[in-house]
Amino acid sequence: MTQSPQSAQTVQTPMTPGVVAQRLAPEAYARHFTDHQPPLEAHEAQVAADRCYFCHDAPCMTACPTSIDIPLFIRQIATGTPEAAAKTIFAQNIMGGMCARVCPTETLCEEVCVREVAEGKPVEIGRLQRFATDRLMDKGVHPFTRAAPSGRRVAVVGAGPAGLSAAHRLALHGHEVVVYDARPKAGGLNEYGIASYKAVGDVAAREVDWLLKIGGITVKTGAALGRDMTLAELQKGYDAVFLGMGLAGVNALRVPGEEAPEVRDAVDFIAELRQQADKSKLPIGRDVVVIGGGMTAVDAAVQSKLLGAQNVTIVYRRGEDRMGASGYEQDHATSAGVKIVTHASPKAVLSNGALTGVEFAYMADGPEGLVPTGETFTLKADQVFKAIGQTLAGVPEALKIDGGKIAVTGAGRSNLAGVWAGGDCATGGDDLTVTAVAQGRDAAEDIHLALMG
């Protein structure tokens, strides 16, 4: 990775002398933030589809949280009808275009592919899904027609994968839907929380625009639950309410020095990256430490490298096998030059007016859980990103909470009559876009049944 000769002349702040923008030559940013997995050409898609056995008892379909009929849509691609394949996908997962880009297919459908089991190389299900969905969406065609108006109104809080999935399915059934979201743009995790090299450009915004073509959905941004409206008001003004606002809070490190300005939430860093068209304007440290072991940690670490950081280290308190990020993502991080240190927990953030490093304690898994071994070490750092999980924020006390999330039963029913929840803010999920889409869809079907008797 070539360093720009102009990097020493970029604007700095006295408190963060090592955190600067324009670390790389201009052309490097365009190269680093292109598609991590480029789309298949038509001939490539045909060859990839021909590898599928079209299994009758397809394990890939069982492994998909949205239960897409994978053998059917791949057969449709193989027979030259990718638009029909797209409709097969969208019937189960209306956000199949984004899921094709960000789903951990290596641990879901592709992991159980018969080709993977027999040959060690699965059918490229994710890339084939992207090929089909992109073909249809690029035409601006919406494959579904809204039912006659039902006269019922539903409020959806959160314009992320769960909320938009629920809104689309409800609108499909003829209900009038109003979606509220606290951020300036709809899209949720897809718009603000996905690594830029996984979903380049404005693909998330274009997917939202395409989804809204079903009609019957009004999106109101800049509207937060608890600040701009209450749950009681929504219950009074609508026939049903779906909560899909995700997790807004971020866990604290709870160590001395955490309040240093060079210590940032990784989710905020990723959101800033997603919204900044000119990546050369984003400041990054020379020595970056990311604390955490999930996908957010990997995305923050890899993108730090892509912005020009020289040394990037992910530190996780448990072993690699306990990390939330898959083995594939861990390998991707290390191939990008990121170092992964396990069995270490932060003890203190060190500063002498500007951040200098982070002290860690080595940890061991014992009968009583994680315990320090007594050994410590220090990593040099001028920037730290926290990626140790998010928390529920801004929900009414009347809602039952279980394990830090809204407790739900069945298809997303909360303890309050007429209130459903799904996605990252509710129990039962695994913090994946595709799971959130499935929960939003299933809750919408349950709401529809409840409303129509």
Bridge-partner residues for 419, per DSSP? Answer: 241
Exposed, middle or buried: residue 321 (CB in 10 Å: 0-12, 13-18, 19+)?
exposed
Given pLDDT bands bounded at 50, 70 and 90, which one contains residue 10?
very low
Residues 440-449, mean pLDDT to the nearest whole number: 98
Q: Which two tokens stand for residue 122?
A: 């699965």
Q: How far apart are CA 428 and CA 281, in angstroms?
A: 39
Encoded amino acid at 272, one letter = E
Structural domains of the chain ordered from first start:
42-138 (1.10.1060.10), 153-248+392-452 (3.50.50.60), 251-386 (3.50.50.60)
**pLDDT, averaged across the chain:** 94
* d(C-alpha 200, C-alpha 306), whole Å: 14
- Rounded to two decimals, the pTM is 0.93
**Which tens digit of pLDDT belongs to each residue from 147-203?**
999 999 999 999 999 999 999 999 999 999 999 999 999 999 999 999 999 999 899
Summarised one tens digit per residue, pLDDT across range 86-99 is 999 999 999 999 99
Confidence class for position 6, pLDDT limits 50, 70, 90: very low
CB contact set of 244 (below 8 Å; sequence gap of 6+): 156, 157, 158, 160, 161, 162, 163, 166, 188, 421, 422, 423, 425, 426, 436, 439, 440
Q: What is the pLDDT of residue 16?
A: 61
How far apart (Å, rounded) are the C-alpha atoms in residues 107 and 416?
Answer: 35
CA–CA dist 173, 146 (Å, integer)? 6
User: Contact 231/419 with Cβ under 8 angstroms?
Assistant: yes
